[in-house]
């Protein structure tokens, strides 16, 4: 078993909004012990965890690699004076979650694409079947396949909206790529055509 306590991963390394990030996954044994402590303290421990949610993460989750994490702890240190802790759930966006409906009319069959095309800030595009993302401070951070989030410091996306059109069962995710000094609109989409 690897020791992840010495690993340092960063979001926006070298920038003004640099943050340290740690990966965690739920541990059943830790959760059982925590629930027993909730009962023994008559809920006072749960109240403390409400004020300090990162303590609850320490009590119920086990540290792991970012690529295997279910939740992430983000530590934002402001001018080495003040620390803010953010706990974010790792979300997976995949084609089945978009809910593309099948057309039962054999006269006009619905063809669907089996991938999501995303355009990254470096000018490349990638076709993926699912994305692992977290939202931090109104920005969406995306994992590249087979790599950790820490390697994506230049791939920041801002989530705009999801649009669903009933005519062609078309659904789009509009992502806005934030580049220094400019804003370029990026589109990840799935289409169904009649």
* 3-state SS, residue 62: strand
Structural domain spans, the chain: 9-89, 92-193
- Which pLDDT tens digit goes with each residue over 20-72? 889 999 999 999 999 999 999 999 999 999 999 999 999 999 999 888 889 99
115 neighbors 127 (Cβ within 8 angstroms): yes
pLDDT value at position 116? 66
Compute CA distances 110 → 90, 96, 128, 142, 193, whole Å.
32, 15, 21, 30, 6
Q: Which residue has the tokens 């003040």?
A: 82
**Structure-block tokens of residue 25:** 């996954």
Taking only the tens place, the pLDDT of each residue in 62-114 is 999 888 889 999 999 887 788 999 999 998 877 654 444 555 555 555 555 56
How far is 127 from 35, CA to CA, in rounded Å? 43
> Beta strands 130-136 and 139-142: pairing type?
antiparallel
């Amino acid at each position: 078993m690897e020791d992840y306590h010495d690993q340092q991963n960063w979001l926006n390394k070298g920038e003004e909004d640099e943050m340290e990030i740690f990966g965690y996954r739920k541990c059943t044994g830790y959760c059982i012990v925590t629930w027993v402590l909730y009962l023994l303290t008559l809920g006072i421990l749960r109240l403390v965890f409400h004020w300090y949610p990162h303590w609850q993460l320490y009590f119920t989750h086990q540290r792991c690699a970012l690529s295997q994490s279910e939740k992430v702890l983000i530590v934002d240190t402001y001018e080495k004076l003040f620390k803010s802790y953010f706990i974010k759930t790792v979300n997976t966006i995949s084609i089945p979650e978009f809910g593309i409906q099948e057309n039962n009319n054999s006269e006009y069959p619905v063809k669907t694409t089996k991938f999501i095309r995303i355009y990254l800030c470096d000018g490349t595009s990638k076709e993926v079947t699912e994305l692992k993302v977290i939202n931090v401070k109104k920005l969406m951070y995306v994992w590249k396949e087979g790599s950790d989030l820490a390697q994506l410091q230049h791939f920041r996306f801002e989530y705009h909206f999801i649009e669903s059109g009933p005519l062609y069962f078309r659904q789009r995710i509009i992502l806005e790529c934030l580049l220094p000094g400019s804003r370029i609109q990026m589109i990840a989409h799935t289409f169904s055509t009649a």
